[in-house]
Amino acid sequence: MYQEMDSARYVRTTVAYGADVQEALEKLRRQGVQSPTLTLLFAASSLDQGEIAKEIQSVLGGHSWGLSCAGHFNGEQGNLSTEGILLLAIEQRGDVLAPCVVMGKIDGQEEERAQELTRQAFDGADFSPELLYIGFTGKRASQMLQANPFTLLVGHSSVGTEEAVLRGISRAVGRGARVVGGTAADRLYLDRITETYAHGDGVIDKGGLSLLGIATTLKNGVGMANAFRPMDAKGAFVTESEGRVVKTLNHRPAADVYAELIGASSWREAQQRFSSNPMGIIEVTAGYWQVRSPALIQEDGSIVFFSAIPKGSGLTLLEADASSRVESVRLAVRRALADAGSPKRVAAVVVFNCILCHQQALCLGSGTDEVRAIREELGEHVAVVGASTYGETGTTVAGTIGHHNQTITVWLLADEAITQ
- The mean pLDDT of 46-65, rounded to a whole number, is 96
Rounded Cα distance, 358 and 362, in Å: 6
Rounded Cα distance, 86 and 182, in Å: 16
Residue type, 77: Q
- CA distances (Å), 351 to each of 74, 216, 398, 404, in order? 9, 19, 20, 14
Q: Could you give the dihedral angle defined by the CA atoms of residues 125, 36, 66 and 398, in that order, rounded to the nearest 10 degrees?
A: 60
pTM exceeding the 0.75 threshold for the entire prediction? yes
What pLDDT digit, counting tens, does each position of 221-234 carry? 999 999 999 998 89
3-state helix, strand, coil in the chain (%, to 5): 30, 40, 35
H helices of 179-219, where?
none
Rounded Cα distance, 297 and 299, in Å: 7
For the ranges 13-27, 33-47, 126-140, 229-243, which has the lowest average pLDDT?
126-140
pLDDT of 146 reads 66
What pLDDT digit, counting tens, does each position of 200-222 carry? 999 999 989 999 999 998 999 99
**Helix (H) / strand (E) containing 361:** helix 355-364
Establish how many alpha carbons lie within 13 A of residue 324's alpha carbon, considering only the half-sphere containing its beta carbon.
15
Under the banding of pLDDT at 50, 70 and 90, the label for residue 138 is confident
What pLDDT digit, counting tens, does each position of 336-389 carry? 999 999 999 999 999 999 999 999 999 999 999 999 999 999 999 999 999 999
pLDDT of 2 reads 47
Q: Name the burial class of residue 310, with classes exposed (0-12), middle (13-18) and buried (19+) by CB atoms within 10 angstroms of its CB.
A: exposed
Q: Considering the chain, what percentage of its residues have pLDDT values greater than 90?
A: 82
pLDDT of 189 reads 80
Rounded Cα distance, 362 and 381, in Å: 26
So where are the chain's domains? 38-226+323-417, 229-319
Evaluated on CA atoms 108, 111, 114, 116, the torsion sign reads negative
Residues in the chain: 420
Q: What is the mean pLDDT of the chain?
A: 93
What pLDDT digit, counting tens, does each position of 274-316 carry? 999 999 999 988 899 999 999 999 999 999 999 999 999 999 9
pLDDT of 142 reads 76
Q: Is the pLDDT of residue 1 over 60?
A: no
Rounded Cα distance, 50 and 58, in Å: 12
